Structure 1
Amino acid sequence: MMTTGVSLAALMAEAGELRDRGHGRLISYSRKVFIPLTHLCRDVCHYCTFAERPRAGQPAYLSPDQVLAIARAGAAAGCTEALFTLGDKPELRYSAAREALAALGHETTIGYLTEMCGRVLRETGLLPHANPGVMTREEIAGLRAVTASQGIMLESTSERLCEKGGVHYGSPDKHPAVRLETIRLAGELKVPFTTGILIGIGETRDERMEALTAIRDLHAAHGHIQEVIVQNFRAKPDTKWADADEPDLQDLLWTIAMARKILGPDMNLQAPPNLSPGVYPRLIAAGLNDWGGISPVTPDHVNPEAPWPAIDELARRSAELGKVLVNRLPLYPAYARDPDTWLAPEVATQVRRMSDAEGLARDDDWSPGETTPPPAPRVLVSGVDSAIARAVDRATSGERLDPPEIVRLFAARDADYRHVTGAANALRQAVSGEVIRYVVNRNINYTNICYFRCKFCAFSKGRTHEDLRGAPYDLALDEVKRRAVEAWERGATEVCMQGGIHPDYTGETYVAICKAIKEAVPGMHIHAFSALEVTQGAATLKQPIPEFLASLQQAGLGTLPGTAAEILDDEVRAIICPDKINTAEWLGVQRAAHGLGLRTTSTIMYGHVETPLSWTRHLLALRDLQSETGGFTEFVPLPFVHMEAPMYRQGRARRGPTFREAVIMHSVARLALHPVIPNIQTSWVKMGPAGAAICLEAGANDLGGTLMNESISRAAGTQHGQEFPPDAMEALIRSIGRTPQQRDTLYRTVPEERRAASLVAADLAPLVLTPPRKRAAAA
């Protein structure tokens, strides 16, 4: 690659543009704890102070208790990674190492490392990253079962450095061919892998480029090299190279920039910040996008003379160049988002539980259903990303955004997050003013027996699934009517009816439910039946969906809830509900209902296995149908409540969205659905009252229903109550300076008699959960 005549400034400008193309405003780091399993090493690199010889009275290896104590301290300090540092195969050189390993029950250092990685993973929850040096295929495979990532520094491809007088003379594991082979084997075994070069150890610039090209070619073949480190040599006392010249800053910047050019925009490129203190903005300008591992607990055992920068300081210095510091896991987002390909099952479970929708480390400990939202995010960056600003402007003017624009909005952090949420709130004010509406309603879940096996659902039961939360039930019509009457007496204008798909239900069952409620309470609005229930009911009667909907409408059905949508992306539906209706079928039910004059709500359930691209597809599908029919009354984000969900308990899902993701879903929905869906509702059941209040200042204009009996989210593990009475709702709304207004299902103001009744409601009578009983089976 020709570089003659190109100034360093021009080279850095090109590298910075490439980096921005691949990574935008983000600069990442890994919050980790260092575990120096052993300082013994069979190699004798001339610049190294990490490697030591055996000493009398000095243990050759950390004990299991010492390893776990360090890991637990890291977990307590908020770390996500346990980086195991160690020498290369010391048992091949030192009898002390062999004896120590035998006492620990192992023949090799890597065998002991594998045991300790497994224990750290299982006993502390930290994700191990292992750097044990040259490995065989079997050793890499064994470590893969208990690590999130592995690594080996290539350092250089120069054979000269292994000759007499070179820094790697006498170090068999530093021969380029054996290190390249380890990297290649890791690629074949699908291991997310870290490598890099060490500059200033006697190599030439051409040899640096040869090493980087070799790394690029291995990645092109296997796609497994997740990051490349450009590390600058630092002379250390008591080494053969104690008096050697170190590479200067210009040399480091040139190498980082060339690495970016060779490796391309998407590669993660790192330079250790503790080896170049005070020049962070210049390293960013040269094209890096990652600061590597930083520990709030342990020193850099390889460079103990170089203290870690404070993470807050690194965030501020990164912000000076308009970059947002984010915490990642030991594996990078592209690999975290595809755990089935890149991780062993046990590791994949923990990665899912520690990651957000983009594959970064979760930035808070909040999950939907918990009581207290985290504090507001910091804003360090001045100015808003131009792409974010353009997308917001287009959305505010009512234009349909393209998928990449919406994905970019979902990724907003720091100043961009504040801009998106602020713009959504301003748009909310322009559309609906200062009024926040709510509806007094009652949930009636008529059965929790269901023959579908949706992997996110903790509510539904088989006929005998009493080991799950609550016993199976199938309400008698008299109990359904009693609850509807009681709801009316307590000021309700709506009953919301949904249940499991009972194997004995037919379309006539749903018709009978509507008739019974209308007979008991003629003025009650029936908001009932998901698209799945409609599809199943029509199928049992062998009727087209429009015909069946018309019969429900004649029986008293007023509107349909937009549930069973989950994620309108069939790639995701194939994972979470493979036996359920697909995206086209769900949209088809809504289209048919709208065609009959039946309005419907729309929802999304997010925070499990999907990505922001899935959210984007979902929003655009709703927008496009609404532009066609105008039948949606509102959009309701429903964050996934994970605690009792089967796919979470099986290790197959994240633990709901982060709080940032939950709030920004409301904001992006306000923008992306404008002007076709004017009402964005926040779920107090999922967000909690305090979280819902924040969403009401980020684009939402509706607080949903009082519910009276919320059972589906409660079954999943939410800590919030089953009812949010009108006086409490109105107090919450007034606390943020807004005006409450009670509405009906179609967003009309309710009669004063209804509102008055709701404010003096008596306590609810105990529920009767009719046990399962024999019904006439569906045809």
Structure 2
Amino acid sequence: MIHLRENMGADELAAVLVPARLESLIDQSEALTLEATGGLVTYSRKIFIPLTRLCRDVCAYCTFATTPTRAGAAFLSRDEVLAIVRAGERAGCREALFTLGDQPEARYAFARSALQALGHETTLGYLREMADMVLAESSLLPHLNPGLMGIEDYRALRGSAVSMGIMLESTAEHLCDRGGPHYGSPDKIPAARLASIAAAGEAAIPFTTGLLIGLGETRAERIQALVAIRDLHRRYGHIQEVIIQNFRAKPGTRMAHHPEPSLEDHLWTIAAARLVLGPEMAIQAPPNLHDPAAVGALLRAGVNDWGGVSPVTPDHVNPEAPWPEILALTKATAAAGRQLHDRLAIGPSHARDPDRWVDARLAPRVRRAVDARGLPRNDDWFAGQGKDVPVVGTSGRLASPAIETVIARAAAGDDLGEADIVRLFSASDADIPAIVSAADRFRAEIVGEAVTYVVNRNINYTNICLHACGFCAFSKGSTRSERGPAYRLDFDEIGRRAAQAVARGATEVCLQGGIHPAYDGNTYLNVLAAVRAAAPTVHIHAFSPLEILHGATTLGQPIEDFLGDLKAAGLATLPGTAAEVLDDEVRALICPDKLDTEQWLDVMRHAHGIGLRSTATIMFGHADTYRHWARHLLRIRALQADTGGFTEFVPLPFVHMEAPIWRKGKARSGPTFREALLMHAVARIALYPLVPNIQTSWVKMGPAGAAKMLEAGVNDLGGTLMDESITRAAGGLNGQEFGPAGMAALAASIGRPVHERTTLYRILPENRPAPVGVRL
């Protein structure tokens, strides 16, 4: 075991790492990599746009840079760039990588005159125009590699790209001496490159940098370069990936006969980079610069990113080394026990926080394109839309030991920690079947095989609300009419709908509404009176903790006293809505004027304390992360351990289409199907055995999606609803009612029996008489 302290300097690190055995370095590096990534390896599906091959530098190993006599045109034209972009879109690319020589106008009059004809004074000006064109004309996101820049250059280009980069290559100054590979190349002076990387940090640019090894530097000098990158990243947080690239000798260059670094030397440097830079850093090695058989060794050494791989354009910097086919790279990565997943030009850690790292006009494009990991959505399934469900998970493979350990601890009844639950949500495709299977086993153990549902009616008595929750497309201000008119049902109409529900076979009415400015606690008591008068036997499931808090506050009553009055007036159970995500970090973004986490939990604690049971929900997939989901589940579990008052847990995927927060570009496009599947399964595992029932929302998931959830720990399909309107207001298309026949057919599709239940999960007789006029 190699022991490193956090703030060791380059000399100290070199003294430890340089003489270390390669296998020891690799073992430790691989363990760190797997701990942080769970076996996920990323790459960017890109096009390569060589905007100009003219350069003021004369590096001794470069075949990309050329001269005016050989260049043809100095710059690619707009049409040439657009043609590459169109080809990339057809091939499913997401990144437009602009690579170009460094300030060619400083060396060549040919470049200056070409720029003038294009309407620009500098290469950076033309680069900005072309990057803006890519953004305007395509779905691709630009990444820029224009060479040495200062902070004003970065700021000028920040709105035109989601990331940029420059290779540090080395901090060994002797490489710039006469006869060295960087002699005569002013942009390769180490201090200048470090200053440029620092300026990118000041400008908050997600940044790619790295080492080019084998130029004549020592291993100790490589450690110096890695420490310089480490220290810059600690200062600014902007380094999204570090490339460890091996020198390749190219015919026709001054270094054509210079020895190339061996695979072992490359592996040593990758492992050293992992140990110096830590488990969270993305370490990249080009997959096309070694024999394909080296893929497994590179991954073991610490690689977790293959960089840009293009199905369209060649590697213009290493034209002798064609890109591997993406399918072949996927198979080679899988053969090494890892899972390949594409990413955007901006790496996942920075994509998760676009407000900090991306220009305001680009942040919505990034946010809408990714899941909670910061990785691209790879299917067209969205909550509420009823699309065909995608296949999730890789069959036929054993789960990783870390996942199996978490599942075993849960099965033993141990409380899982936040990190355990985050690990489950972050599972690779190979681990997902094990999580789903465990959730299904836990379900069978606790509640058996039966699928249950309740016949109920939603009565949303007003959509006028004092609050302005960013996720809500249902609520209206008292004078606004967007997305349909504002309304308020009178008490007679509420009672009429309750009686009608009972006549159609409902055993429950679910009553919720906006926080109307004219409502006080007496309003909620009057709603109960209206329902009880019209439908004396119906179970009243009503009032979110937000409504309870509002009612108690307006009457100046303690919450427990107001709940007691509601119970005496006929309230039987509470819906667990208004929870959204029980973490105030998220609530500050999506519902800042709503009750906070502790207030929600406090209302539920008081309700359970006087014998009112409730559901619990989570509304997920917007501005939240797996860490927030884990905290929510832990808070539900802790309260359940104290009170036992939750009857069920209900995941509610965010329906984004009409949500104000999404329309403003401040939310993701709901969870992916993978995330929805994991939410149901992980909830079953994390809440085991305390919460007996996990419910799926057929409105959010669609019937086909709900069927998949029934195989992932879910045992309940919720209510038939009759008049669902909240999801419909948000753009959902899955209908307003799903009757008993539909419930039965859905359960039968996966070979499970189905039973109608009451709100409190008492199974009702199968052949009880249907009321006159009921439509089944």
> So what's the TM-score if we normalise by structure 2?
0.95
Which of 308, 311, 317 lines up with 1:296 in the alignment?
311
More displaced, 194-203 or 7-16? 7-16
How far did residue 380 of structure 1 move? 7.2
* 2:519 maps to 1:505: yes
Match of 2:331?
A: 316
Match of 1:400?
A: 415
What secondary structure is seen at the aligned counterpart in 1 of 2:694?
coil
How far did residue 511 of structure 1 move? 1.1
Match of 2:774?
A: 761
Please tell me whether the aligned partners of residues 121 and 128 of structure 1 are also in contact (alpha carbons under 8 angstroms). yes
Question: Which amino acid in structure 2 is aligned with residue 256 of structure 1?
Answer: I
Which of 657, 660, 667 lines up with 1:643 in the alignment?
657
What secondary structure is seen at the aligned counterpart in 2 of 1:449?
coil
Match of 2:464?
A: 449
Please tell me whether the aligned partners of residues 322 and 381 of structure 1 are also in contact (alpha carbons under 8 angstroms). no
How far did residue 66 of structure 1 move? 3.2
Question: Which amino acid in structure 2 is aligned with residue 431 of structure 1?
Answer: I
How far did residue 540 of structure 1 move? 1.3
Please tell me whether the aligned partners of residues 545 and 603 of structure 2 are also in contact (alpha carbons under 8 angstroms). yes
Q: Label 1:291 to 1:756 Cα distance change in 2 as closer, same or farther (>3 A).
A: same
Match of 1:99?
A: 113
How far did residue 670 of structure 1 move? 0.4
Partners of 1:428 and 1:65 in 2: CA distance = 59
What secondary structure is seen at the aligned counterpart in 2 of 1:383?
coil
Which of 58, 78, 97 lines up with 1:83 in the alignment?
97
Partners of 2:595 and 2:421 in 1: CA distance = 26
Task: Let me know the Cα RMSD of the aligned residues.
Answer: 1.9
Pairs within 5 Å for 1:380-459: 382-459=397-474
Count residues with an aligned counterpart. Answer: 761
Partners of 1:350 and 1:78 in 2: CA distance = 16
Please tell me whether the aligned partners of residues 504 and 774 of structure 2 are also in contact (alpha carbons under 8 angstroms). yes
Question: 1:624-653 deviations in whole A, cap 9, x for unaligned?
Answer: 111111111100000001111111111111
* 2:260 maps to 1:246: yes
Partners of 2:321 and 2:237 in 1: CA distance = 33
How far did residue 171 of structure 1 move? 1.7
Partners of 2:346 and 2:530 in 1: CA distance = 56
Please tell me whether the aligned partners of residues 594 and 631 of structure 1 are also in contact (alpha carbons under 8 angstroms). yes
Question: Which amino acid in structure 2 is aligned with residue 383 of structure 1?
Answer: L
Question: Which amino acid in structure 1 is aligned with residue 575 of structure 2?
Answer: P
Question: 1:543-563 deviations in whole A, cap 9, x for unaligned?
Answer: 111221122222221111000
How far did residue 753 of structure 1 move? 6.7
Please tell me whether the aligned partners of residues 34 and 300 of structure 1 are also in contact (alpha carbons under 8 angstroms). yes
Query: Tell me, which stretches of 5 or more residues in structure 2 are unaligned?
Result: 1-13
Partners of 2:474 and 2:293 in 1: CA distance = 55
Please tell me whether the aligned partners of residues 637 and 681 of structure 1 are also in contact (alpha carbons under 8 angstroms). yes
Identity %: 60
How far did residue 34 of structure 1 move? 1.8
> So what's the TM-score if we normalise by structure 1?
0.94
Match of 2:366?
A: 351
Match of 2:5?
A: none
Please tell me whether the aligned partners of residues 121 and 146 of structure 1 are also in contact (alpha carbons under 8 angstroms). yes
Partners of 2:561 and 2:395 in 1: CA distance = 57
Please tell me whether the aligned partners of residues 44 and 309 of structure 2 are also in contact (alpha carbons under 8 angstroms). yes
What secondary structure is seen at the aligned counterpart in 1 of 2:362?
helix
How far did residue 61 of structure 1 move? 2.1
Question: Which amino acid in structure 2 is aligned with residue 257 of structure 1?
Answer: A
Match of 2:211?
A: 197
How far did residue 313 of structure 1 move? 2.5
Question: Which amino acid in structure 1 is aligned with residue 96 of structure 2?
Answer: A
Please tell me whether the aligned partners of residues 30 and 329 of structure 1 are also in contact (alpha carbons under 8 angstroms). yes
* 2:318 maps to 1:285: no
Please tell me whether the aligned partners of residues 45 and 343 of structure 2 are also in contact (alpha carbons under 8 angstroms). yes
How far did residue 493 of structure 1 move? 1.0
Match of 1:585?
A: 599
Partners of 1:547 and 1:172 in 2: CA distance = 77
Match of 1:229?
A: 243
Query: Tell me, which stretches of 5 or more residues in structure 1 are unaligned?
Result: 764-779
How far did residue 152 of structure 1 move? 0.2
Partners of 1:530 and 1:204 in 2: CA distance = 66
Partners of 1:498 and 1:77 in 2: CA distance = 48
* 2:368 maps to 1:376: no
Partners of 2:58 and 2:206 in 1: CA distance = 28
Match of 1:260?
A: 274
What secondary structure is seen at the aligned counterpart in 1 of 2:160?
coil
Match of 2:11?
A: none
Q: Label 1:149 to 1:105 Cα distance change in 2 as closer, same or farther (>3 A).
A: same
Which of 561, 566, 570 lines up with 2:580 in the alignment?
566
Partners of 2:307 and 2:178 in 1: CA distance = 33
Which of 181, 204, 216 lines up with 2:230 in the alignment?
216
* 2:61 maps to 1:17: no
Please tell me whether the aligned partners of residues 491 and 755 of structure 1 are also in contact (alpha carbons under 8 angstroms). no
Q: Label 1:416 to 1:604 Cα distance change in 2 as closer, same or farther (>3 A).
A: same
Match of 1:462?
A: 477
How far did residue 679 of structure 1 move? 0.3
How far did residue 145 of structure 1 move? 2.1
More displaced, 312-321 or 298-307? 312-321
Which of 142, 145, 148 lines up with 1:128 in the alignment?
142
Q: Label 1:51 to 1:367 Cα distance change in 2 as closer, same or farther (>3 A).
A: same
Partners of 1:711 and 1:73 in 2: CA distance = 43
Please tell me whether the aligned partners of residues 373 and 659 of structure 1 are also in contact (alpha carbons under 8 angstroms). no
How far did residue 12 of structure 1 move? 1.9
How far did residue 757 of structure 1 move? 4.1
How far did residue 143 of structure 1 move? 1.5
Q: Label 1:489 to 1:259 Cα distance change in 2 as closer, same or farther (>3 A).
A: same
Which of 32, 44, 51 lines up with 1:37 in the alignment?
51
Match of 1:773?
A: none
